């Protein structure tokens, strides 16, 4: 089967989200200007730069414009990316529910908040890794908005560190596949990079 994008009817969302797998999940916490804490997962997420430390996530816009998360980031200039691990997967899924902007997904999913150090939005208390970020840029790309944030503070739970460093062998991260499918990072293997 071949798909000619020029003549294909409809969105390529299902093809792209099924082919680019597994995708890490940015579980993004923000706070509205009125003080309501928002929490939503986004699987179009990656590192954009190490120096300066920039991460990006790309919410697909709602039919009427920006979703709550990018709108909050634009308004406040702050957000936190929380790592989704297996024990938090069901709660993460609960936070993907469509709620009114004045209702908090933290409360909806029964999640405990933890204070951030540098930014105002709280982080997920049980997240083993959390990245406090300030807005670097917002870019419109087609029907999505790329949110680039500069990492200002990193929280690492002691259970995922070895000798003071994040140890990927101890992080049971959850990644997004397509539809209702997810993957974990339990099955790991190593290969040495050739010179």
What is 22-182's CATH number?
2.30.110.10
Q: What is the mean pLDDT of residues 91-105?
A: 95
> Of the candidates 185, 21, 6, 27, which has an alpha carbon nearest to the alpha carbon of residue 111?
27
- Predicted confidence at residue 15, as pLDDT, reads 84
In tens, the pLDDT along 11-28 reads 888 888 888 889 999 999
Q: How many CB atoms lie within 10 A of CB 129?
A: 19
Render pLDDT for 112-149 as a digit per residue (tens, 0 to 9): 999 999 999 999 999 999 999 999 999 999 999 999 99
For the entire predicted model, the pTM comes to 0.93
**Residue 31 in this model has a pLDDT that exceeds 90:** yes
Q: Which residues pair with residue 60 across a beta bridge?
A: 144
Strand, helix or coil for residue 105: helix
The ranges assigned to domains in the chain are 22-182
pLDDT per residue over 35-86, tens digit each?
999 999 999 999 999 999 999 999 998 888 889 999 999 999 999 999 999 9
Give the span between the Cα atoms of 57 and 26, in whole angstroms. 7
């Amino acid at each position: 089967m071949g798909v000619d994008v020029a003549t294909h009817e409809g969105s390529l969302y299902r093809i792209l989200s099924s082919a680019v797998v597994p995708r890490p999940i940015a579980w993004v916490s923000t706070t509205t200007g009125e003080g309501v804490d928002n929490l939503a997962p986004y699987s179009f997420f990656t590192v954009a730069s190490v120096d300066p430390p920039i991460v990006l996530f790309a919410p697909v816009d709602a039919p009427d414009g920006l979703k709550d998360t990018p709108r909050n980031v634009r308004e406040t200039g702050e957000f936190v990316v929380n790592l989704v691990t297996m024990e938090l997967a069901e709660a993460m899924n609960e936070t993907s529910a469509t709620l009114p902007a004045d209702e908090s997904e933290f409360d909806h999913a029964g999640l405990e908040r933890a204070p951030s150090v540098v930014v105002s939005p709280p982080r997920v208390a049980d997240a083993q890794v959390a990245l406090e970020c300030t807005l670097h840029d917002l870019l419109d790309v087609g029907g999505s908005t790329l949110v680039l944030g500069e990492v200002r503070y990193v929280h690492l739970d002691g259970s995922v560190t070895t000798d003071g460093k994040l140890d990927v062998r101890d992080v049971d991260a959850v990644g997004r596949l397509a539809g209702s499918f997810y993957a974990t990072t339990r099955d790991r293997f190593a290969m040495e990079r050739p010179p």
